[in-house]
Amino acid sequence: MRPLFGIALALAIAVSSSVGAQTSSSQGAPPQTARQALIEMLFGEAPGHLEKHLPDLTRQTLEKLGGTNGQSVPGVFSMLAAQAKNRREKLETFDSGSTFLTVEEPAGGGFEKMVITVEQDDLAGGEDNIELALHVFKDGKEETLVPQILRFTFSMKMESEVWRLNEVRATARFPIADPAFLKAVEEHQLHQNEEMARWSVRSVVNAERLYQSAHGGFACTLSALGSAGNGTGAKKRVYLYDSQLASGKKNGYAFAISDCDTSHYRIAAGPVVPDSGQRAFCSDESGTLRSSADGKPTTCLASGEVVEVVKDVLSMVSAAHAAAQNSSGTSQLPQRVRVSQGVAEGLIVSKVQPDYPPLARQARIQGSVVMQAVINKTGDVESLELVSGHPMLAPAALEAAKQWKYRPYLLNGKAVAVETQITVNFTLSLQQ
């Protein structure tokens, strides 16, 4: 998707989604260094700042390719850069020293701060190789995987008294015998497992509510929620769409329903590996989701700390149509109908694209995230349940999908809530 220089821009646009300006060229100024040229190329504002530092042959080829709505490929990247600039509170580039770039993310963003450091700057005659490394900070500490895994080397060459980018090399280093690296990998995976366990307990709570509404009592096994019943209508349906969760084990956690009868149940999730440092999660028919730091489901059920109260999906759907019959003796419209994903996609008014998780991008993790959704009569996404998807991609997909807006689905001329599936795809081009 990106052209030849896409890798170079990925460091500034795809990875950090940021851009700034720090270029200066006044008459009598000292000759521009290769580093200053790279800054101007990636972060400049003047027209043609990117093309200026491309080899003539590269620039001519890109001009032939064209781009979106007839715009040139370099023009597309300049537009993306300008849009990205407005999303950052503070960005600063440095002509010298060990720091190349710093970015501070607005509150609620994917990270708190990003620093790009210069690991090497080898100038030899008319060529200069500049190696850069990413450092991402979140929750007050550095995401240690990023700088160890991925680095970029920009090869600049002087042509016609202008530094031009001739080659970009991306190197991935996996120090599999380094205790610090292995610890970072472990901590990251454990955190992802925790997030997925929390989402999974939430999914079971919502599935139990739907099951209780149709059957008059709660399901006492996960397999009962995950398989179609023997009845008809609402009783013959699947309530828990994640087959892996329905089996009782997912992402390093074991899930189980206990103390169950028609009016009460408990759901608990504990790490499969004891003393792993992961929390246990639990809930019951009240929808209060709790956790325990010792990782023991028994502790969570007895005295767990409240994490959240799971929103009742049934209370979100109007029950007015479920009352009785109209004057003609025919049944009123159902509370909710199930429609195919294709039908639902045709009703989309606005779709928020997910932010590609930086670590997933670095690890080149791709795939689809599938969610079960309830869309209310006004076209808002009322609830989402994860069906499948990589744990590094799922949170971003859920965050984006809950902001989608649909046209109301009409049944016999009246709007009704719908149940459907939503799929969000994460793909990377070869240059990203």
Band of residue 42 on the pLDDT scale cut at 50, 70, 90: confident
Q: Nearest 5°: phi and psi at 157?
A: -135, 135
The per-residue pLDDT for 313 is 53
DSSP classification of residue 60 = H
The residue assigned the tokens 């800054």 is: 39
Q: Is the pLDDT of residue 377 over 80?
A: yes
Lowest mean pLDDT among 77-91, 227-241, 343-357: 77-91
CATH of 318-432 among 3.40.50.10860, 3.40.50.300, 3.30.2420.10, 3.40.220.10: 3.30.2420.10
Token digits for 369?
A: 């995230």
Q: Which residue has the tokens 């995230």?
A: 369
Average pLDDT over residues 343-348: 88
Of 180, 175, 114, 99, the closest CA to residue 358 belongs to 114
pLDDT digits (tens, 9 = 90+) for 288-337: 999 999 999 999 999 999 998 877 655 544 343 443 344 444 445 556 78
Residue 393 confidence (pLDDT) above 90: no
Residue type, 107: A
Whole-angstrom distance, CA of residue 20 vs CA of residue 13 = 11
Distance CA 226, CA 335 (A): 22
Question: What average pLDDT does the structure give for the chain?
Answer: 79
Least confident span in 115-129, 169-183, 222-236:
222-236
In the chain, where does the domain assigned CATH 3.30.2420.10 lie?
318-432
Question: How many helices and strands, by DSSP H and E, does the chain display?
Answer: 13, 20
Q: CB neighbours (10 Å) of residue 56?
A: 11
- Residue with structure tokens 């060529």? 127
